[in-house]
Amino acid sequence: MADVTVHGAGIFGLTVAWACARRGASVRVIDPMGPGAGASGGLVGALAPHVPENWNAKKQLQFDSLVMAEAMWAEVARLAETDPGYARSGRLQPIPDEAALAFAEARTETARELWQGRFTWDIVPQDGYAPYAAAPTGLLIRDTLSARLHPRRAIAALARALANLGVEICKDGAATGRQVWATGTAGLEEISGVLGADVGNGVKGQAALLDFDGRTLPQLFADGLHIIPHGDGTTAIGSTSERDYTDPDGTDARLDALIEKARALCPVLGGADVLDRWAGLRPRARSRAPMLGHHPTRPGAFIANGGFKIGFGMAPVIGEIMADLVLDGRDRIPDGFRAAASLPKERPPQK
């Protein structure tokens, strides 16, 4: 019998299982579709920070997670003998005008303090990165905190590392011990149905993988678009953010437009073939932050859901926080990340 049963084999479920198993708990993961079948099976893998200003508990938690990620994925790679595609490659952002330049200059100072002198947010000339990145001002922001991860390789490596720790990942089976529900969009919709109120839903995203080897380049974030050169010689671009859709898993003209936009922003992608197209639903809680803690409709159970666009970046710290709560009863979840933050105020969470 398992001490902990995790429902859901996406990045949140697998990382909670990882944190619990490394503390000596016996863990079973149950997912009818297998590891990474939902939003975690995408292509992009941008691990990028909030801007270094107006600091709060959410930004601190994200910073802690991005710092933890390097050691976590190195340990996963060692145990799995598989490369998850992690690298702290940094990020470029074009500076479009003088107003944006003033903001960027101010943030170089706040980054020194808030990022504890360990990472930088600097302004650099675009000459060293042309024609990969360009800006009307000729200047780019370069931060050294951002990292990238290949989502599918990371999920496969994490599943293999868990198996080597004795964790069973199965499509069905008995749920024993403490229960953690990390079931993505389906889980949010289930809670909304039980409570009769919108707690969260799926937001469709579309992304593409191009045959361009930019593995020595930083990631690029421009005009709301992520361009992520992976270590395997491919480059991911994404993603759309669609609240209205008819086909949650189908790619369409919106992705075609995204590809063309990426090629316009980054001319070196112009002749690169499209290797893969992906679409899926990313779980977005009503608060926009992950929902963590005691499950609101399953008494005695726990929830880790709502990763939306930051699931891979937040996963290392969320795994540890949930292991603290599930195994030791120690609650260090910031208020903004509690499940209650996404619940209707007239219906307090159940415990």
Residue 195, amino acid: L
Q: What is the pLDDT of residues 72-119, one digit of tens each?
A: 999 999 999 999 999 999 999 999 999 999 999 999 999 999 999 999
pLDDT in tens, 215-239: 999 999 999 999 999 999 999 999 9
Cβ atoms of residues 184 and 305 within 8 Å: yes
CA distances from 170 to 32, 110, 152, 164, 226 (A): 7, 46, 18, 15, 33
Q: What is the mean pLDDT of residues 32-57?
A: 96
* CA neighbours closer than 13 Å in the CB half-sphere of residue 272: 26
Indicate if the pLDDT at residue 349 is higher than 50: no
pLDDT at 320 over 90: yes
Task: Say how many C-beta atoms besides its own lie within 10 A of residue 123's C-beta.
Answer: 15
Threshold 0.85, pTM exceeds: yes
Give yes or no for residue 136 having a pLDDT over 50: yes
CA–CA distance, 5 with 28 (Å, rounded to integer): 5
pLDDT of residue 348: 45
User: What is the phi/psi pair of residue 244, to 5°?
Assistant: -115, 125
Q: What pLDDT score does 206 carry?
A: 98
pLDDT at residue 6 greater than cutoff 70: yes
In this prediction, what percent of the chain has a pLDDT beyond 70?
98
Q: Return mean pLDDT, the chain.
A: 96
The model's confidence at residue 345, banded by pLDDT at 50, 70 and 90, is confident
| Cis peptide bond prior to 239, omega within 30° of 0 | yes
pLDDT in tens, 138-193: 999 999 999 999 999 999 999 999 999 999 999 999 999 999 999 999 999 999 99
Q: Which residues pair with 94 in a beta bridge?
A: 140
User: 335: burial class by Cβ within 10 Å (0-12, 13-18, 19+)?
Assistant: exposed
Interval 263-319: pLDDT, tens: 999 999 999 999 999 999 999 999 999 999 999 999 999 999 999 999 999 999 999
Is residue 347 very low, low, confident or very high in pLDDT (cuts 50, 70, 90)?
low
Reference 69, options 147, 162, 132, 4; nearest CA is: 147
